[in-house]
Structure 1
Amino acid sequence: MTARDGSPLGRKEIGDFGERVAAAWLRAQGEKVLYRNHRAPRGGEVDIVARKGKLLLFIEVKTRRQGAKIRGYDAVNADKRALIERGAGHWRELLKRNDIPWRFDVIEVTVEEGCKPVVHRIEDAF
């Protein structure tokens, strides 16, 4: 993938693009994006916090170029899950309610120059 000036996008830019695609995709599915890039004080992080009806969603977005050797979901290892869980725990503390159902999803975004991104969601990923 390249920028408007023709220079190649770096990993961060591709990741940011994937998160924007995932947020737009969620909205198109009728879900409400509550927050992007939530960072907890003790090191937790959640890419997207969303709501689907009464269900609270903590979503990790992994963006890969078409033909990548490892799929996005496979990069969500135990250490990454722990970071996401800490971030989700902090968000739930902020709500001051324990009665809201929640789950962890992973959204894989596959990109290829000149093509529409492909979005794949893994519900209840861990």
Structure 2
Amino acid sequence: MLCPEGCHTCCIETEMILTESDIRRIESLGYNREEFSEKRDFYRLRNVHGRCYFLEGGRCKIYEDRPLGCRAYPVVLNISTNNCELDDLCPAIGTINEEEFREKCLIVLKIIRELGITLDFMQTLNPRRQRS
């Protein structure tokens, strides 16, 4: 899937979670963790004036080294269902094929593994979900 030229919808008010491998990769480009990330429940990309720290002139400054979550987008994890889904905010979701969807789901699973997230933890993120 290719993003439409100039599209940066996913870079506005981003909540993108960063793995340690994402952080190390970005730090290897000369950026300091404190510049581009903030720690809440996990490290996340920092927003500056409502836009991703790396968004400049409508383009990602680190596109080739972007975080795994950015690579997986528009596939996201729905914590209510524990399933991969397409984010309907993405204007290009109609262009993603089944193979790309599966590949991006694998990236989402890699993120979950790297973060050490368990089903129990995901349920704490979504208190409305009932445990069975």
Please report the TM-score for the alignment, with normalisation by the length of structure 2. 0.35
Please report the TM-score for the alignment, with normalisation by the length of structure 1. 0.36
